[in-house]
């Protein structure tokens, strides 16, 4: 009895009159993304799986971080980051379909603090530029992966040609590896070194 009363009281403390739930770290558990290639879309899925198989065969270590991510997660990432880093005015944040979040806390200071908690929980604290509102991840057409290897590796491209990589760096930023990925239809992010793990169907 006492417990349920307390639970009810806590729940109401986190909801405002419009039935929205206040922002906070708990939102990072909603609308989860995927790390599996099976959530990628159609032909891109097969391209990625073939590219990863070729890298694995060559002895390259592949650690997948994100494949598909729902748009709702992007709304949370984008606005939490902007409240913290751009001092975005919470009253100007547009409503998001299916995301009943209230960014404005009754005590003003809590608004930024809760957004900071979300930035941490969503793992975007180290981002220097605002996360995009939409991305190829929303369409299942992008993958984030960390790649590393030792010494020299020989990787088969999509045409069956074995390419020996002796160049640096031994990461996903390696020019030769980027060319190999492109033969499979997996394009390295074209915006420079800002998004090291990101590959997609079109380089965006
Ligand atoms: Zn990405």
CA of 136 to the centre of ligand 1 (A): 8
Tell me, in angstroms, the distance from the centre of ligand 1 to residue 149's CA.
Answer: 21
What is the predicted pLDDT for the residue at 1?
Answer: 41
For residue 14, pLDDT over 80 is answered with no
Q: Give the pLDDT of residue 2.
A: 45
CA of 123 to the centre of ligand 1 (A): 13
Instruction: Output the pLDDT for position 3.
Output: 47
In angstroms, the CA 124 to CA 85 distance is 11
What is the spatial distance between Cα 2 and Cα 15, in angstroms, rounded to a whole number? 20
Cα dihedral 41, 42, 46, 47 sign: negative
Q: What is the DSSP letter of 37?
A: G
Sketch the domain layout of the chain as residue ranges. Answer: 37-69+143-191
pTM of the model: 0.80
Q: Encode pLDDT of 114-164 as tens digits.
A: 999 999 999 899 888 898 899 999 999 999 999 999 999 999 999 999 999
CATH placement of domain 37-69+143-191: 3.30.310
Alpha carbon distance 124, 111 (integer Å): 18
What is the reported pLDDT for 22?
97
- Taking the centre of ligand 1 as the mean of its atom positions, its distance from the CA of residue 47, in whole angstroms, is 16
Is 90 exceeded by the pLDDT of residue 7? no
pLDDT per residue as tens digits for the range 39-83 = 999 999 999 999 999 999 999 999 998 999 999 999 999 999 999
Tens of pLDDT, residue by residue over 55-65, are 999 999 999 98
The CA 43 to ligand 1 mean position distance, Å, reads 18
């Amino acid at each position: 009895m006492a417990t349920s009363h307390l639970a009810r009281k806590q729940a109401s403390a986190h909801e405002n009159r419009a039935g929205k739930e206040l922002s906070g770290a708990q939102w990072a558990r909603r609308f989860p993304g995927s790390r599996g290639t099976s959530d990628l879309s159609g032909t891109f899925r097969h391209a990625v799986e073939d590219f990863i198989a070729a890298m694995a065969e060559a002895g390259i270590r592949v650690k997948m971080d994100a494949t598909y991510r729902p748009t709702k997660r992007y709304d949370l990432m984008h606005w939490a980051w902007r409240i913290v880093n751009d001092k975005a005015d919470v009253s100007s944040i547009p409503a998001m379909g299916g995301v009943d979040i209230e960014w404005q806390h009754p005590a003003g200071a809590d608004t930024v603090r809760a957004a900071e908690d979300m930035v941490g929980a969503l793992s975007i604290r180290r981002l220097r530029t605002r996360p995009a509102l939409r991305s190829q991840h929303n369409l299942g057409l992008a993958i984030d992966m960390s790649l590393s290897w030792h010494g020299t590796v020989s990787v088969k491209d999509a045409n069956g040609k074995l390419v020996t990589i002796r160049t640096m760096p031994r990461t996903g930023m390696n020019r030769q590896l980027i060319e190999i990925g492109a033969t499979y239809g997996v394009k390295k992010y074209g915006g420079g070194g800002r998004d090291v793990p990101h590959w997609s169907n079109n380089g965006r």
